[in-house]
Amino acid sequence: MLTITVPATSANLGPGFDSIGIALDMQLTLQVVRPSDHWEIKHPFGDEVPTDERNLIIKTALGLEPTLQPQQLQMASKIPLARGLGSSSTAIVAGLVLANELSGNKRSLTDLLQVATQLEGHPDNVAPALLGGLVVATVVDQQVRAVKLPLPNLFASVYVPNEELLTSASREALPTELSYQQAIAGSSVANTLVAALASQDWAVALPLLERDQFHEQYRAKLVPALATVRQMAHELGLAGTYLSGAGPTVITLGDYGQLMALQQQLKQNPALTGQLHLLPVDATGVKVQKV
């Protein structure tokens, strides 16, 4: 049996808009049960998610390898839909790896990243899903350039609101342009953040996660939990709270013990009715197992 496991991802780390992402230890698992005369995928998401060729995993696989033998698939996932934890990116990665394995065309992770980025539109979610860990990536001349930074010795306090926030709606909240001065300020913070992440200087990196100039201030009204969680973290002396992806999930990076204390406080806030997770970083990215 072929089993493919893909980690959740958190993108847009602070000012690393569309370019910095991290893989988290929350998984999508896809199993190939047996060949069939038609494509079918069983999953836990109800009628709103297709079970045939319209399903994103199968659609992605057939987009890469149109002549694949149909399969019966079983998918399990703890990654919530439309919450800013890379649910669509994990499905795209699972589909590409599925096609790669079933076809026997052993494309490299670099090749798969190129295709995944074309499908997703930007690399900050798909890169850590494929590579694991903390990844900085961009697209230059239609080629993806990705750099995997040293594995951070950090955990993630993850607050997932009960309400969905579609990426399309979150994108609509963004301005169509920024002033030259604001763009320079945002770029300066982002550059320094990357340097701090690469050198694992958390005293510099964690506060800079909260100094985005590109998207958080425009999306804040859509995600009231961001200000609440950040303020409660500050009261405990913790920096490093940011909006994960397009939201509405809010993440605080830091020490395990400190984040445990933060979560105890968050649980007592009646305004925060969503789910809490305390997750390590996923170091390896997509995994393939054959039994």
Q: Which residues are annotated as a binding site for ATP?
A: 80-90
Say what the alpha-carbon torsion angle 115, 135, 125, 67 is, to the nearest 10 degrees.
Answer: 30
Closest CA to 196 of 230, 231, 150, 157: 150
Annotation: binding site: 80-90
Residue 276 tokens, joined: 């809490």
For 129, other C-beta atoms within 10 Å of its C-beta total: 31
Task: Give the list of residues 6+ apart from residue 250 with CB closer than 8 angstroms, or none.
Answer: 158, 159, 161, 223, 225, 226, 229, 230, 241, 242, 243, 244
Structural contact between residues 220 and 212, judged by C-beta atoms closer than 8 angstroms: no
Instruction: Give the integer Cα–Cα distance in Å for 103 and 289.
Output: 16
